[in-house]
Amino acid sequence: METIGFHYVVEAAGCDEEILQDADRIRRIFLEAAKAGSMEVKASYFFKFSPTGVSGMVIVAESHISIHTWPEKRYAAIDVYTCGETADPEKAVDYILDAIKAEYAHVSEIKRGIEEDDDTFTHMILTWEEKLDRKNGK
């Protein structure tokens, strides 16, 4: 089954709240995640909300990776979407989860752009949960 892209939707919990409120640190993490996932960075933008939280995105040649954080809840919503065959989006997801010190992740892998016989497209979803072996002092 051929697909146009892979979209990872990640709910990350038990994250380090200091990291989740630091836009510069998250930008560095995401740029390194793109590198870990063999993605070619084209642009990035990260915004720090007041009093807390960060939203940001890295545009890559293969598509994008993005994050929205709620430090007070130790939660981050993460998307990694890639097209083509050169990128490794799972490596990018793993890098991000490790760097933000997530204790738990609910991950959905969506195979997007599956072409049907009638020239329409559909997608397929695989979902799993991971309890990550780390504690953030709470």
136 SS3 class: coil
Of all residues in the chain, what percent carry a pLDDT higher than 70? 94
Q: Which residue has the tokens 């051929």?
A: 2
pLDDT digits (tens, 9 = 90+) for 3-14: 789 999 999 999
Q: Where along the chain do its domains lie? A: 5-121
Give the global pTM: 0.90
Mean pLDDT of the chain: 93
User: Which residues belong to the active site?
Assistant: 63, 68, 83
Per-residue pLDDT, 136? 58
pLDDT digits (tens, 9 = 90+) for 21-64: 999 999 999 999 999 999 999 999 999 999 999 999 999 999 99
43's tokens: 């642009």
Other beta carbons within 10 Å of 28: 13
d(CA 93, CA 56): 15
User: Span 5-121: which CATH code?
Assistant: 3.60.90.10
Handedness of CA 6, 97, 49, 22 (dihedral sign): negative
